[in-house]
Amino acid sequence: MKILEINNCKKQFGDLEVLKDISLSVEQGQVISIIGPSGSGKSTLLRCATLLETMDGGDLIYLGQYAAKDDGNGTAVYASDQELKQIRMNFGLVFQNFNLFPHYSVLKNIMEAPVLVQKRDKAEVKAEAMELLRKMGLEDKADAYPYQLSGGQQQRVSIARALAMKPNILFFDEPTSALDPELTGEILKVIRDLAAEKMTMVIVTHEMAFARDVSDHIIFMDGGVIVEQGDPQQIINDPKEERTKAFLSRF
Amino acid sequence: MTFATMLEQMSTGMLRTVGIFVLTLIFSMPLGMLVAFARMSKNRIIKNIARIYISVLRGTPLMLQLLVVYFAPFYIWGANIGGYRFAAVIIGFALNYAAYFAEIYRGGIESIPKGQYEAAAVLGYTKSQTFMRIVLPQVAKNIMPAVTNEVITLVKDTSLAFTLAYQEVFTIGKQIAAAQTSFMPFVIAGVFYYIANAVVAFVMEIFEKKMNYYR
């Protein structure tokens, strides 16, 4: 089952073409990593997929439902706010800088959206939130505030916050880039565990070895296009394109 | 005039001073929010109106503004401004302080990182939920020191109501001082203002401490 489909996505900031005709699709349970140099458009692609940016042209489809549809002349026409609100419930996003709410406790960070937005039962959500915290090894931090946690702990809370919404697909935007190398491992382990549970994920990352080991499919982007994609082992160990080789030679 | 009589008359004035203070806050704080939103509006006309409003009210003396608010209805429309004195004081103060509060609010709102809005958007919060639950509580904490400053200034600025001969503590004190050729009313007024501000500082500190549970 296709969870996400992006066709011919185009995005321009002023005169700068950030995304030139990008297409990708994500099957249920698939883990896709997107790698590439800074400015290659990978974060913008993720931001388009999560509706934080609007694409100029192309289709954006979650589980067969159009969030945006190309009108045939290269202009993306977005669905109504009501439909987009519903479509948003399909995905979660983990940010590079966590973006936890500093004035909420860890537990409230995780619980508020399911209760407020999804109107789910508070007691039930709380039980699930505590279970998620246990999974993240943070059960004793439920009442702590984000400033009291390390970066790695904050990122695990933000992953729990995203998971509490029961998304069909989870996006990660460079989830370890703001962490020092010692804390990177704990986040990568959490993502590995999620992959083992067949969580559908799209991960923008600079961790090449991790991308190779955890993903089913790797996309290498540069200059707003997909330069090369395919089997993780092949892309990382034996890239075909010169641009990919040049990029990977630095790791 | 005995000291007790002096104190009694000036206490009556102090109550009026507190009245100006409280009413000014009640009107200027929400009005300031409105002006701040207008100032941040994407609509250029609304934005520029707010910009001019703030510029004029911060750029001219409050004393002059009080005189304009009080006498303008008479000079422009020939209106009878007999019973209008107190209302004019409150309108003048509220309009002036709204301009200052607007800029404090704007600074506070613009200091909230974009990531907070984005996290809320992805989680499905509506715009108003994002503002009320995520943005506003953080703004309140950030602007507390600036608001405290403004509120303390307001306590002292209420004395400008003497411009419209409104019988607050300073106006009464000046009258007694002139009539009795005594320095004592000024001392009493100073003590009154100081006590009022000590209370304000104390209350604001409680608010600040209350919001200190996070960073």
Alpha helices in chain A (DSSP H): 42-49, 81-88, 106-116, 122-135, 151-163, 181-196, 208-214, 232-237, 242-248
CA–CA gap between residue A44 and residue A17 (Å, rounded) = 11
Strand partners, A92: A170
Chain A interface includes B125 (CB < 8 A) = yes
CA–CA gap between residue B12 and residue A1 (Å, rounded) = 78
What is the per-residue pLDDT for B102? Answer: 98
What is the per-residue pLDDT for A181? Answer: 87
CA–CA gap between residue A206 and residue A203 (Å, rounded) = 10
Kindly report, residue by residue over B59-85, the tens digit of the pLDDT.
999 999 999 999 999 999 988 888 899
What is the per-residue pLDDT for B31? Answer: 98
Q: What is the mean pLDDT of residues B37-46?
A: 97
What is the per-residue pLDDT for A48? Answer: 97
Chain B interface includes A97 (CB < 8 A) = yes
Structural domains present in chain B: 3-211 (1.10.3720.10)
What is the per-residue pLDDT for A182? Answer: 86
| Contact indicator for A19, A77 with CB cutoff of 8 Å | no
Q: Number of A:B CB contacts under 8 A? A: 57
> Are residues A99 and B119, on separate chains, in Cβ contact within 8 Å?
yes
What is the per-residue pLDDT for B139? Answer: 97
> Are residues B214 and A147, on separate chains, in Cβ contact within 8 Å?
yes
A37 Cβ neighbours under 8 A, 6+ residues apart? A222, A247
> Are residues A102 and B213, on separate chains, in Cβ contact within 8 Å?
no
> Are residues B119 and A101, on separate chains, in Cβ contact within 8 Å?
yes
> Are residues B122 and A112, on separate chains, in Cβ contact within 8 Å?
no
CA–CA gap between residue A249 and residue B101 (Å, rounded) = 56
Identify the closest residue of chain B to A105 by CA–CA distance: B214
What is the per-residue pLDDT for B83? Answer: 86
Q: How far apart are the first and last CA of chain A?
A: 35
Chain B interface includes A85 (CB < 8 A) = yes
Task: Please tell me whether residue B69 adopts helix, strand or coil conformation.
Answer: helix
Chain B interface includes A117 (CB < 8 A) = yes
What is the per-residue pLDDT for A92? Answer: 97
Kindly report, residue by residue over B95-125, the tens digit of the pLDDT.
999 999 999 999 999 999 999 999 999 999 9
129-168 of B, contacting A, C-beta below 8 A:
129, 133-134, 137-138, 141
Tokens of A68: 């945006």
Q: How many CB atoms lie within 10 A of CB A237?
A: 10
The ranges of chain A with pLDDT < 70 are: none
Chain B interface includes A166 (CB < 8 A) = no
Kindly report, residue by residue over B7-17, the tens digit of the pLDDT.
999 999 999 99
What is the per-residue pLDDT for B207? Answer: 93
B102 Cβ neighbours under 8 A, 6+ residues apart? B32, B33, B34, B35, B36, B39, B50, B54
| Contact indicator for A96, A175 with CB cutoff of 8 Å | yes
